[in-house]
Structure 1
Amino acid sequence: MVIVMDSLLKGFDFKMLESFSVIYVERSVRGASKRLGVNPSTISKNLAKLRSWYDDEIFIQTPNELIPTPFAEQLYPMIEDLLSTAKFISQMKSMPDWNGERINLILEEHFLTVLLTNISSDLHKLMDAQCLEINISNWNYNSISEIIHGKSDVGVCGLESCIESRYHPDKLPINICYDVLFRDVPSVYVHKDHPILSEEWCFNSFIKYEHIGISWENKKEWVLDTCLNQIGYKRKITLVVANFIHAVQLAANPDEHRIAIAPTYCWPYIINNLENMVKLDIPLSDNILKRIEVLYVVLYHKRMKYNIKNEIIRGCIQNSFSSRF
């Protein structure tokens, strides 16, 4: 059996697979060579070997980029799994010394404020390291690309559970994995003296008052607005801010007439810091409430699934959330 395997693998080089994986992401030989720190000719030779081995063009040159063939699309997830497993096996010999290690995280800003306040100290403890270089940046429209290109280890954000949404998990790139941390249906937040509290809390009140909107990936509307549009209504968004916490802080102003919508999980933080706030359920049907449910997820590149460092980071984040829910 060993002789047969040797015969099958003769001439097969893992560097070919690594080149394939990076070309698939970069869509160019030059981009792949920069990522791997080798000459473009080396990448071209590995690509030529792949084409010969599989008797397939693998990537087709277009004026702007290399496009994977249908066979390459089928091959990609299997190669990613193989590379991830190989890296995991290579790291099993011993636990690395993490001192001096650089960790790059991308989080929606309210996570750091509300739930992940101890992320730095928790990582130091889990990695048994006195000195870590931890960089945390705010989630933005380019964050998925940063994870794909290895500029960030892990991202934490909210995705929409409605299958029609462009932000549904099924719409993520094929090389991005996600784990659901928890689910949340947002609530309405107003200050205790808001005139809305003197009225019957119903859909008419919800739609009548002006709203404070949130800018997420340069958009101020989300699946809630899609659902309202489908039944012939539209929110009056007259103020847009960067995140949920800012929206609630503004809504806490006694002179503020607008209402804010923010995750329900933020309520303990809000009531501890803004004592004059009231939380109300969004007055919509159960069907619509189900559609606007938000999935909070941790995102990472598929090739990092078995990477020890990445697993530790994800485990640390998951433990932080599980201890609160």
Structure 2
Amino acid sequence: MKPSLARLDLNLLHTLQLLTQELSVSKTAAKLNVTPSTVSKSLRKLRDWFDDPLFVNTPKGLAPTPLTQSMEQDLADWLQMSSQILEKHSEDSPQGMHFDLAIESPLLLFKLNELIQRIQHRYSNAKINTHNWDYDSIGALVRGEMDIGLTGRESHPRSKESLELLPYFIDFEILFSDLPRVYLRKDHPALSEEWNMDTFLKYPHINIVWEQSETWALDEVLSEQGLKRDIALTMSSFEQSLFMAAQPQQNMLTTAPEYCLGYTQQLHPELVCLPVPINKAAQDKLLIPFTLIWHKRNAHNPKLRWLKDTIKSLYCRQK
């Protein structure tokens, strides 16, 4: 069993972090203003602690082992947080923090004002960047360009956007689940007919591109029944599709998550909301788990843990 953390000299982690940067005992010693022998002794202690070589000698210098590579970002984060802690006085609050969020819109808009207020209350002079979740957002999380994401995934077993297909280095937590609904004008001719699948497919649809795909779980469910929507217009976001569905004398309809009902009631009161006319088994395949997503390296980052808890408190009861 590994000894208690209390018995580990945390200065050794600083040495390890510099070694991952310099890949040289002598260069690390120069940075620390100590002798190479001192760094070598520290490296031996670290190897004993982690039960791993950590670095191997090569003709070009030290090469990190897979364990060391896996810790590189964590060590950098730890050093940054340590410096921030040591620079604080008891009356200080964290300042100058940067937040990069990718949240599906219009879900972002519902709670954005309150989220900004909470961030700025906790972190004075915080800088906040918001982005709509898109096909590159997972890559941005991996590259460290994004702190956290909130978006809908899919439940259909053949979907390429299911939670099971997220990369192993991505953590997630479902905040709430939703079902897609049909949005159309109050004077739409479909409302004078029986609301069933025939009526649903009789009229042209406004579709959106979702993570570079023009089809989604609904199209899979329809295809299983030998059915297909008539896509008359394809747009890039739910806001755009709802805006067009709300235009006067418009006979197109669109499909969007049920949470968008609150958005349309405020901005497009001329729209009404109906269920997708399918049975319970098919509905289960359309269920949308709205999910908080972050990189595993941020699992213990204090800023990200606070941000995750704050978003959960705002959005968990969205439904």
**TM-score of Structure 1 vs Structure 2, range by shorter chain:** 0.7 to 0.9
Q: What secondary structure sits across from 1:179 in the alignment?
A: strand
Q: What value does the CA root-mean-square deviation take over the aligned residues?
A: 4.2
Q: Specify whether residues 156 and 17 from structure 1 end up closer, same or farther in structure 2 by C-alpha distance, changes over 3 A only.
A: farther
Q: What secondary structure sits across from 2:311 in the alignment?
A: helix
8 Å contact kept, 1:181–1:295 = yes
Q: Indicate the residue corresponding to 1:221 in structure 2.
A: 215
Q: Specify whether residues 16 and 87 from structure 1 end up closer, same or farther in structure 2 by C-alpha distance, changes over 3 A only.
A: closer
Q: Indicate the residue corresponding to 2:105 in structure 1.
A: 109
Q: Which amino acid counterpart does residue 107 of structure 1 have in structure 2?
A: I
Q: Indicate the residue corresponding to 1:288 in structure 2.
A: 282
Q: What secondary structure sits across from 1:239 in the alignment?
A: strand
Q: Deviations over 1:40-77 (max 9, x none)?
A: 778xx9xxx99xx768999xxxxxxxxxx9xx6xx79x
**Residue 323 of structure 1: CA displacement?**
4.8
Q: Distance in 2 between matches of 1:15 and 1:136?
A: 33
8 Å contact kept, 2:208–2:235 = yes
Give the counterpart of 1:122 among 118, 121, 126. 118
Q: Runs of 5+ in structure 2 lacking a partner? A: 29-45, 57-64
Q: Distance in 1 between matches of 2:114 and 2:167?
A: 30
Q: Distance in 2 between matches of 1:241 and 1:40?
A: 50
Is residue 136 of structure 1 aligned with residue 125 of structure 2?
no
Q: Specify whether residues 15 and 290 from structure 1 end up closer, same or farther in structure 2 by C-alpha distance, changes over 3 A only.
A: farther
- Higher CA-based Rg: 2
**Residue 107 of structure 1: CA displacement?**
1.7
Q: What secondary structure sits across from 1:317 in the alignment?
A: helix
Q: Distance in 2 between matches of 1:202 and 1:187?
A: 13
8 Å contact kept, 2:174–2:290 = yes
**Residue 83 of structure 1: CA displacement?**
6.8
Q: Which amino acid counterpart does residue 302 of structure 1 have in structure 2?
A: K
Q: Runs of 5+ in structure 1 lacking a partner? A: 20-32, 59-68
Is residue 98 of structure 1 aligned with residue 74 of structure 2?
no
Q: What secondary structure sits across from 1:188 in the alignment?
A: strand
Q: Which amino acid counterpart does residue 318 of structure 1 have in structure 2?
A: K
**Residue 15 of structure 1: CA displacement?**
8.0
Q: Indicate the residue corresponding to 1:314 in structure 2.
A: 308
Q: Distance in 2 between matches of 1:236 and 1:84?
A: 52
Q: Distance in 2 between matches of 1:306 and 1:225?
A: 39
**Residue 204 of structure 1: CA displacement?**
0.7
Q: Specify whether residues 14 and 264 from structure 1 end up closer, same or farther in structure 2 by C-alpha distance, changes over 3 A only.
A: same
8 Å contact kept, 1:83–1:303 = no
Q: Indicate the residue corresponding to 2:258 in structure 1.
A: 264
**Residue 84 of structure 1: CA displacement?**
11
8 Å contact kept, 2:106–2:263 = no
Q: Specify whether residues 98 and 286 from structure 1 end up closer, same or farther in structure 2 by C-alpha distance, changes over 3 A only.
A: same
Q: Distance in 1 between matches of 2:79 and 2:287?
A: 36
Give the counterpart of 1:205 among 189, 193, 199. 199
Q: What secondary structure sits across from 2:146 in the alignment?
A: coil
Q: Deviations over 1:181-214 (max 9, x none)?
A: 1100010000011111111100111112111001
Query: When the two structures are superposed, what TM-score results if normalisation uses the length of structure 1?
Result: 0.74
8 Å contact kept, 2:155–2:287 = yes
Q: Deviations over 1:139-161 (max 9, x none)?
A: 22111111112111111111112
Q: What secondary structure sits across from 2:182 in the alignment?
A: strand
Q: Distance in 2 between matches of 1:231 and 1:40?
A: 60
The count of corresponding residues between Structure 1 and Structure 2 is 287
**Residue 164 of structure 1: CA displacement?**
2.4
Q: Specify whether residues 264 and 175 from structure 1 end up closer, same or farther in structure 2 by C-alpha distance, changes over 3 A only.
A: same
Q: Distance in 1 between matches of 2:167 and 2:76?
A: 17
Q: Specify whether residues 249 and 87 from structure 1 end up closer, same or farther in structure 2 by C-alpha distance, changes over 3 A only.
A: same
Identity %: 30
Q: Distance in 1 between matches of 2:131 and 2:170?
A: 19
**Residue 316 of structure 1: CA displacement?**
1.6
Q: Specify whether residues 147 and 140 from structure 1 end up closer, same or farther in structure 2 by C-alpha distance, changes over 3 A only.
A: same
Is residue 249 of structure 1 aligned with residue 228 of structure 2?
no
Q: Indicate the residue corresponding to 1:189 in structure 2.
A: 183
Q: Which amino acid counterpart does residue 210 of structure 1 have in structure 2?
A: P
